[in-house]
Chains A and B, each alone.
Chain A
Amino acid sequence: MLIRVTPERLNPEEAIEAVRRDEAGAVDVFLGIVRNTNKGRAVDHLVYDAYPSMAEKTMRELAEEALARFDLTDSAVLHRTGRLEIGETSLLVAVSAGHRAATFEAGHWLVNEVKRRVPVWKKEVWADGEEWIEGPESLGMERAPATMRGS
């Protein structure tokens, strides 16, 4: 199991090799990419903050849950921190299993749970300002009044 929160560039090949097994007929890889626009506004770059020790602990717990829940052979979850430019990879999830269906389901579930629970935050920086984003899918927003969950 490969789990890492790091300011260094994420390498998909490393995650793929970490989960590759002779008995696994499928590897599913997800890359979260820094997009150049959000809600119609041009994004210049993102800055990610994290609680690294808890983020890695939470990612490991989710990866272990995914192994059991979807009968995976292995999984890798990596998140980058610090300043990321447009087109760079912020999140990397790779899972392997005997057959492809389990990897698609597990990858989908893991990415959703990472966005919901892992203590990482992104700040959007525009040409004329910046703002910390509150994830609409986050556990914290599930407690918010409906008016705050508009996005």
Chain B
Amino acid sequence: MVITVLFFASLADAVGTRELSLAHVAGDTVASVRDRLIAVHPQVSEFTETLLYAVDEEYADEDAPVPAGATLALIPPVSGG
């Protein structure tokens, strides 16, 4: 099974894509998926200080579980309005 990772705005520009798939590992959390992502796309680490995360469209803490088949969104500081 896989995890879908979504990027937006400045982070999508930095990574060069809006979406990618990663293999799911048993016990995955937001932090563990993010750290595997940083190994492939080190530029993500420049965003982590202000980055928020959403698992299946709900804001989630770094230690929240990411189940197989889930969508993890990496959310830079929002600026709507």
Which of B13, B50, B73, B80 sits near A120, CB closer than 8 Å?
Answer: B80
Chain A residue with Cβ nearest B13: A132
**A contact residues, total (Cβ < 8 Å):** 35
**Residues of B in contact with A, size category:** 20 to 34
Contact A144 B50 (CB under 8 A): yes
Instruction: Convert A104-140 into 0s and 1s, putting 1 for each residue whose CB lies closer than 8 angstroms to a CB of B.
Output: 0000000100111111111100000000111100111
Given contacts A51-B75, A148-B49, contact A121 B9 (CB under 8 A): yes
Contact B13 A116 (CB under 8 A): no
Chain A residue with Cβ nearest B73: A51
Counted as pairs of residues, one from A and one from B, with CB atoms less than 8 Å apart, the total is: 97
Given contacts A54-B54, A54-B57, A144-B50, contact A138 B12 (CB under 8 A): no
Chain B residue with Cβ nearest A123: B9
Chain B residue with Cβ nearest A145: B49
Residues of A within 8 A of B75 (CB): 51, 119, 140
Contact B76 A117 (CB under 8 A): no
Instruction: Convert B48-77 into 0s and 1s, putting 1 for each residue whose CB lies closer than 8 angstroms to a CB of A.
Output: 011110100101000000000000010111
Residue numbers of A with Cβ under 8 A of B are 32, 48-51, 53-55, 57, 79, 90-91, 111, 114-123, 132-135, 138-141, 143-145, 148
Residue numbers of B with Cβ under 8 A of A are 6, 8-10, 12-13, 49-52, 54, 57, 59, 73, 75-81
